[in-house]
Amino acid sequence: MDGSTAPAPARPMARGRLFFANPGPTNIPDSVLLATARASIDFNDPAFMAVYDACFAGLKRVIKTEQNLFMYTASGHGAWEAALVNTLSPGDRVLIPETGHFSDSWTKMCGTLGFEVTPVPCDWRRGVEMSAIREALAADTAHGIKAVCCVHNETAAGMRLPLDQVRAMLDELKHPALLMADTISSLGCYDFRMDEWGVDVCVGGSQKGLMLPTGFSFTGVSDKALAAHRASTHPRHYFDWTEMLARKQKSFVGTVPVTLFYGLQEALRLLLEEEGLDNVFKRHNRLAKAVRACVQHWSGNNGPQLFCQNPERYSDSVTAVLMPEGFDAEAVRKIALEKFNVSTGGGLAKLSGKVFRIGHLGDLNEPMILGTLASIEMALGLAGVPHAKGGVQAAMDSLAKG
């Protein structure tokens, strides 16, 4: 030894796999990781274009559309910006039903890009009232609202929004606004039907239900939205659909992330062929019910409780857990990570320190969920958080029902 000392690790190194229960990014299946281990290839090479075309078609099957699709080297936020600047003009008004942190993020983005936002406020624990959305649309007799921007699954609150009901209201009122939907944490987790539900722009990302590394995002685009694009006067370049349509790939401005497409090809095989989408949705629902059963049991003895108080809006992707008054969610997360190698999601925005989030989306099964819940229950005890012991048994009982 030369007497030098290496920097201490950020936390003790644990053996075995990290139990990753974050709501995104998510676990990446080994076969997907191996599929991305490819040497570089020209993205115009016919051998790659065959993979690209297959992925393009497979992704349209997942979002359930026969219309248009554009892809970007960007996170989901990039896809949202693409949706807005391609279909709207400066000063246009958009309606944004509040769902939590991410609807607030889209509101901020719209303001930065020069759009006027009409929010529909809500209680984050109950979810936006559909009657409030209808009231806002009905009041817009001049049809000044050009788009309704909805978050299908709000990861901050662990809550879903029924998009088909929003479309039904638009149709009933004969309102011409575009319906845009953020499916970043719902796609590949529970059902989404772009064409059937009349969604004009579907925003998605690679790093959640698609079980891929972060790196690309996409928008499904209806013919109606493409017509709006032709009339849009908003400045754009990197996300410009007209620029993309002129390219061989009909997407991307610049270099295509080639290796991610080999991973996407494998992820689509797992979702569409090996397991099948309907079974994927059933698995997510089964695991989500088990997590909720566990948390509901913990709520005894004045313990943590489900943040979402509306059973009709429960998310099958993520469960937000509200801590008892006076207890810090970050302390529980720290113990779970450092002692048990279990990573959970933290509270976002005004929920920071008040909730922790258990992601149950992507490449997960029953033992992984039970191991996560057992570790969290131990962390609650070590942190001195009141709770009813036996939550893991409640989850097991739920899973045993199938």
Per DSSP, 177 falls in state P
Indicate whether 164 pLDDT > 60.
yes
Q: pLDDT of 21-73, one tens digit each?
A: 999 899 999 999 999 999 999 999 999 999 999 999 999 999 999 999 999 99
Cα(292)–Cα(134) distance, rounded to whole angstroms?
A: 30
**Residue 296: exposed, middle, or buried by beta-carbon count in 10 A (0-12, 13-18, 19+)?**
middle
Contacts for 210 with CB less than 8 Å, ≥ 6 apart: 62, 187, 188, 204, 264, 267, 271
Signed CA dihedral, 265, 266, 269, 270: sign only: negative
Structure tokens at 72: 């970007």
How far is residue 365's CA from residue 283's CA, in Å, rounded to a whole number? 8
- Dist CA 366 CA 282 (whole Å): 13
Q: In this structure, how many other beta carbons lie within 10 angstroms of the beta carbon of residue 263?
A: 27
Residue 3: per-residue pLDDT: 47
Cα(35)–Cα(187) distance, integer angstroms: 21
pLDDT in tens, 347-401: 999 999 999 999 999 999 999 999 999 999 999 999 999 999 999 999 999 999 9
Residue with tokens 């974050």: 22
Here the tokens at position 24 are 């995104």
